[in-house]
Amino acid sequence: MIILNAGDTLQIKLDAAKTANDMQIAVSYRDITSSTFAHSRLLTLSNGVTDVDILTTPIPAHWYIVDTISVYNADTALKNVTIKYDVSATETIIYKGDIAAGGLLYYNNDATGWTYIAPSPQGYAITVQALTSSPADTTPFYFGTKPAAISTTAGQNKIYIRKAGTLKIAEIYTYAGTAGTAEAVSMYVRVNNTTDYLISTLSVSANERVHTNSALSIPLAVGDYIEIKCIPPIWATNPLTYIVGGYVYIE
């Protein structure tokens, strides 16, 4: 339970200045005297490394009992948060921890106490595909979402980005009726027909090849477009009846 006597102040400060936005803080509390009882709230914003009063001291013969505290990180970067009592300039920390961008710290005056609610990922996946074909030696080919054979001309399989984010994962599955030999095959995400980001390079002789990369960090703005690009080798034996599918994940 968090109680404020006369002379007590509840404060917050961060470990660093905001990157873009201050944190949003809401405190609900009960103002109690020996004969009265009233509910109230106080809304404030953080101010970087400066102490900010999130609940000011009660007047004499009043006490505040804090029911809830919520601290929402509206910034674009993680911040470390300290919540503390200030009693005549003597400080006592009652909470200290990280809040990720979009995360919420919540205090409830019940058995739960402090709870951290991590931000929900707002990512989305886009599936990619191409119909059966037989890729030629050293000739780059491209595909996107169209149910069509691979194309050797860039810009014919554009996947436009309608929600900005970071492409973090790509997984491209290929299957060939004739496996072909084990020369190196490289698969890329190509952005705006200018920049290639390597997914993976595989040197295997197998009907099934899976190009996967979960450590990508490709920035994408609304209006950008991507394609999947493959650079084949000079095969000793070419794969035949080659079909591809998979997805990219953007967050």
What is the pLDDT at residue 120? 77
Give the pLDDT of residue 159.
Answer: 97
The pLDDT score that the predictor gives to residue 31 is 92
- The 10s digit of each residue's pLDDT in 31-57 is 998 888 888 889 999 999 999 999 999
Q: What is the pLDDT of residue 212?
A: 96
Residue 237 has what pLDDT? 95
Q: Cβ(205)–Cβ(138) under 8 Å?
A: no
d(CA 225, CA 191): 6
Check if the beta carbon of residue 16 is closer than 8 Å to that of residue 51.
no
Does domain 124-250 fall into CATH 2.60.120.260?
Answer: yes
The domain limits of the chain are 3-117, 124-250
The whole-number pLDDT of residue 200 equals 98
- The predicted structure's pLDDT at residue 154: 96
Q: What is the pTM of this model?
A: 0.59
Predicted pLDDT at 66: 93
CA distance 203 to 181: 8
% of the chain surpassing 90 pLDDT: 83
Q: Give 25: exposed, middle or buried? Use CB within 10 Å, 0-12, 13-18, 19+.
A: buried
User: What is the SS3 string spanning the chain?
Assistant: CCEECCCEEEEEEECCCCCCCCCEEEEEEEEECCCCEEEEEEEEECCCCCCEEEECCCCCCCEEEEEEEEEECCCCCCEEEEEEEEECCEEEEEEEEEECCCCEEEEECCCCEEEEECCCCCCEEEEEEEEEECCCCCCCEEEECCCCECECCCCCCCEECCCCEEEEEEEEEEEEEECCCCCCEEEEEEECCCEEEEEEEECCCCCEEEEEECCCCEEECCCCEEEEEEECCCCCCCCEEEEEEEEEEEC
Would you state the structure tokens that stand for residue 129, as one six-digit string? 């595909």
Extract the residue ranges of the chain whose pLDDT is less than 70. none
Judge contact between 72 and 27, C-beta under 8 A.
no
